[in-house]
Amino acid sequence: MYWKTIKEPKFILFVIALITFYTILINLPRTPVKFGFKIPFMNDQRLDVDTEIGGYNFSFFGGAIQRDLEIKKGLDIEGGVSVLLQADMSKIVEADRNDALESLKNIIERRVNLLGLSEATVQTSKQGETYRVIVELAGVDDPGEALEVIGQTALLDFREIKPLEVKADGTEEEDPTEINLEEQFVSTGLTGADLRKALVVTDQSGTLTSGTPQIQLTFNADGTKKFREITQKNLNQPVAIYLDDRILMSPVVQSVITDGIAVVTGQFTPEEAKFITMQLNAGALPVPVSILEQRTVGPSLGQESVNKSIVGGLLGLILVVAFMIIYYGRLGFFASIALVIYSLITLALYRLIPVVLTLPGVAGFILSIGMAVDANILIFERIKEELRMKKPLSIALENGFGRSWDSIRDANVATLLTAFILFNPFDWGFLPTSGLVRGFALTLSLGIFISLFTGVFITRNLVRVFYNPKQQND
């Protein structure tokens, strides 16, 4: 009984109505609502409403996971910075270079995320012996800070005083503590690779409240062992802490540290301490990088193109709806309703996933509208064939939807295979890796899947419920 109920066309339409209602809420922009009226049965007491609807946010688990539902815009629409980085692989053996490039990409992505740039794209490019990373940062307010975080090698290195050497005459070298210490420090082997995390603190409690900020370093098991040996060896001696070959400080070891937790003190401002910990937590780049090209992209041209694309898309949608209604009558009207629902669901998914919308992505969306109509045309033409064979309308409708499925499936599978190649999810070097091309493939693929749902599922149930099976022609 339960299974029979959920298969009823009217029940399915109720579910479709709920989906449509929630997609309208997701897509509705923030809109002020202000009105007032008198309540007759309450002595004409006036009720004023002044609120806003739309523009809702995503929030789960008591706010632990939250995100706005605004459309995410790509670099070509919103503007920002495009950076081309070249990786220096001269010190990496050839067999490890591809892994180093992938590691470089992952670390840069982590650094970008620390900046809060969720709309950024990071891609790798290899041509012969040239290894590059392309970083596109949409909506960046401070390009200088972004570039500094992305390109900084952030190599943390602990160094100890170089041991005194005995000269040929039996005398020792000059005490290094009395000359330039920076030139006398040598690496201990303890680096940022042994670091588990870095925090900005003011005391051992691990919270920043007041006073001069400090940087607390927590090492992993291997780093804890190394640090214990270093502090034992250099008790009452300075151990220098370097960041990218620049000395941060050279504190004197006061005691042997066995728990793997060190606190770096100095005259840090809160901003400096936060910046250093962000670099350390993001990880050291596996290879040095240099900026080959930096472009600042303005949003004006992209936004103008988007506006024209929206106008073109709406005009195309209106023409398609008019054609469907004029040519197919009430069947075309039902298909047009399904097409509107298709558009609402697609835009809602763009917000929920979220999809970073670029100009090619907009083109993919507009193209997918045509794909959505194509399924309905195949179905309706099949229905007309069945009617020409003098079959009852109810049977013609069912055969039209059922027997046209093979053609719809084959056509869309072919398009999905093409979109898969363009999206290149496995980053194959012989296929496109451009973010713009991938954006087109993503919106096109989503459109095809949703069009199958609306073209076959929604239209079919609309026809079953509202089309008069006693009428033999359209």
The answer on 233 and 123 residing in a single domain is: yes
Q: How many domains does the chain have?
A: 2
Of 384, 443, 462, 447, residue with least CA distance to 412 = 447
Q: Give the Cα separation of 3 and 114 in Å (integer).
A: 49
The answer on 113 and 227 residing in a single domain is: yes
The answer on 303 and 287 residing in a single domain is: no
H-run or E-run covering 122? strand 121-127
Q: Give the Cα separation of 238 and 231 in Å (integer).
A: 10
Specify which residues 85 forms β-bridges with: 133, 291
Q: Give the Cα separation of 407 and 401 in Å (integer).
A: 11
Q: At 51, give phi and psi (nearest 5°).
A: -150, -175
Domain stop point among 296, 312, 331: 296
The answer on 341 and 250 residing in a single domain is: no
If DSSP codes are grouped into helix, strand and coil, which group holds residue 474?
A: coil
The answer on 287 and 426 residing in a single domain is: no
The answer on 334 and 278 residing in a single domain is: no
Give Rg (Cα) of the chain: 32
Domain stop point among 263, 296, 329: 296
Burial of 470 by CB count in 10 Å (0-12 exposed, 13-18 middle, 19+ buried)?
exposed
The answer on 430 and 325 residing in a single domain is: yes
In terms of DSSP H, where are the helices of 72-190? 75-78, 97-114, 143-151
Q: pLDDT 10s digit of each residue in the chain, 474 long?
A: 555 555 677 888 888 999 999 898 888 887 787 877 777 766 767 777 777 777 777 665 555 556 677 787 777 777 788 888 899 888 788 888 888 888 788 778 877 776 665 557 788 888 888 999 988 888 776 667 677 767 665 667 889 987 765 455 555 555 544 445 556 788 888 877 788 888 888 754 444 445 678 888 889 888 899 999 998 999 888 888 887 677 777 888 888 889 988 887 777 788 778 777 776 776 667 778 888 888 877 765 566 777 787 787 788 788 888 988 999 988 899 989 998 899 899 989 988 888 878 888 888 888 888 777 888 888 888 888 988 898 888 888 888 888 888 888 888 898 899 999 988 887 776 777 677 788 888 889 998 999 888 877 888 888 888 875 554 444
Residues in the chain: 474
How does DSSP assign 420-447, residue by residue? HHHH-TT--TTS---HHHHHHHHHHHHH
If DSSP codes are grouped into helix, strand and coil, which group holds residue 174?
A: coil
Q: How far is CA 395 from the centre of its chain?
A: 47
Q: At 280, give phi and psi (nearest 5°).
A: -70, -40
The answer on 121 and 213 residing in a single domain is: yes
The answer on 317 and 254 residing in a single domain is: no
What is the pTM (predicted TM-score) of this model? Answer: 0.64
